[in-house]
Amino acid sequence: MRAAVAGGMVLLLAVGMLFIAPGSGPAYEYLEEFPLTWTDPSVSFGLVVSSLPESSMAPRVDDALAGWNEIGGADLDLSRFTSSCDPDDHYDLTPCIAMGEGILGDDVLGVTMVTWQQGEILDADIWLNGDLEWTDQNDLYMEAEPVNLQMVMMHELGHSIGLGHENDIVAVMNAYYPNGGQVGPDFDVIPLPDDRAGARSLYPAGDQETDLGASNYYRTGPDTSDYFRPVGSADPGSEVSFTYTVHNLGTTDQEDFSVAFYLSDDQAIDTSDRKIGEATGLSVDSGSSLTRSVDLLIPETIAIGTYYFGFIVDSGDTIEENNEDNNALAAASSTGIGLSDDDDDTGDDDQPPGRPNCPQICNLLEECGLLDELGIDPASCEDSCLHEFQRAMYDCLAVSEDCSQAEDCLEGDIERTVSEDDEDGCGCRL
């Protein structure tokens, strides 16, 4: 923090950053040792759209703003205006968001400069690191570049409303990317329980919400998180360890609910899939997250094939929630059950997690002569499969058995987003 004199007033700067990572109950932290808030929680940010890699990414900034606005029990109304702004002027009382090259260090994704006086926030300016590769796709598990724009914006906006870093539990306000990751089958990028508790503390409102959400992300260290990957192969009759997280996104404590576990031949988990276990009598406080590991027994009678483990939160449907669509979730990758090494299409240990069928897909596309149509070099196909295919195309190709089915996937109404070649990276800090 540093001080500067402007207009006869002493204004103070507080700095919040998100970083690249080296390898309970609510625990949110304030940006300073005491609360800093906007007197009027209706805050409008300027966005230098021309600074983004693509102007089409601007809606993800809007989504990040909306994520904080939609917290039940918090009074926030963040918005964006379209006129110009200056992210380097921290005393013009005009919040500004921009992306720039050569401004931040290699291990910094974003930085927020908050100007305040006597506990009142007067300005907040956000810089994003333009030297990195960014994506507006939320349906990719967060590992390294391309960096998820909405997640980083969500984090920096948390600083702009007065929240500091919280590194004891999974949260958007974790100092290290990928923070708390996405929620539910639609890969929602939203403030997590601890973030929501912090927002409610700073900007309390009278409304309530009830919502449990499923997540594959969990804490891996004091300030890092990652998503769970199940084993790539297993035998019928064997036990497999499975880790899951339940977020209490609502305003009230939840007690005595259950989580059921399933095996499915696709990533759409529902009660029609094969149930293989259940955890009962669970509870999680408002503003808290619950992570558990269970040993699941694979039925001996299950047909040999490729499956997804998955789970449904509040499987007994005893809790009436504001959002019932984020309770069911499949694992990030599939598991070959009863398959020999030659038949196992889930990939080897070197295959990037989250897209285990890339070798199979690339072989099929090459055999069918479809790589040229996609403009993909065979040598870089697996990188393209991991980072360029949207989830719908990937899932379609993963179950294609011949060229005709693969062509149907490519000719369908499935968009494809091309990114630059990805390099092995690390997590990032904000």
Residue 128, domain member (yes or no): yes
Res 29: pLDDT? 76
pLDDT digits (tens, 9 = 90+) for 129-174: 999 999 998 887 877 778 999 999 999 999 999 999 988 888 999 9
pLDDT band at residue 364, thresholds of 50, 70 and 90? confident
Residue 118, domain member (yes or no): yes
- Asked if residue 6 lies in contact with residue 91, where contact means CB atoms within 8 angstroms, the answer is yes
Residue 279, domain member (yes or no): yes
- State how far the Cα of 27 lies from the Cα of 287, in Å rounded to an integer: 9
Do residues 293 and 232 both lie within one domain?
A: yes
Residue 427, domain member (yes or no): no
CATH of the domain at 177: 3.40.390.10
Q: Tell me how far apart the terminal alpha carbons of the chain are, to the nearest angstrom.
A: 17
pLDDT band at residue 371, thresholds of 50, 70 and 90? confident
pLDDT digits (tens, 9 = 90+) for 170-201: 899 998 888 888 999 999 999 999 999 999 99
- State how far the Cα of 416 lies from the Cα of 393, in Å rounded to an integer: 8
- State how far the Cα of 45 lies from the Cα of 377, in Å rounded to an integer: 42
Do residues 407 and 333 both lie within one domain?
A: no
- Per DSSP bridges, beta strands 254-264 and 225-227 are unpaired
- State how far the Cα of 315 lies from the Cα of 282, in Å rounded to an integer: 11
Do residues 189 and 323 both lie within one domain?
A: no
- Residue in 196, 191, 91 with CA at minimum distance from that of residue 150: 191
Residue 345, domain member (yes or no): no
- State how far the Cα of 75 lies from the Cα of 91, in Å rounded to an integer: 25
Residue 416 has pLDDT above 80, yes or no: no
Do residues 148 and 257 both lie within one domain?
A: no
Do residues 189 and 66 both lie within one domain?
A: yes
Residue span of the structural domain in which 27 resides: 2-202
Do residues 41 and 119 both lie within one domain?
A: yes
Residue 86 has pLDDT above 90, yes or no: yes
Do residues 101 and 240 both lie within one domain?
A: no
Residue 87 has pLDDT above 90, yes or no: yes
Residue 428, domain member (yes or no): no
Residue 122 has pLDDT above 70, yes or no: yes
Of 337, 368, 399, which marks where a domain is finished?
A: 337
User: How many CA atoms does the CB half-sphere of 246 hold within 13 Å?
Assistant: 27
Structurally, the chain folds into a number of domains equal to 3
Of 337, 367, 388, which marks where a domain is finished?
A: 337
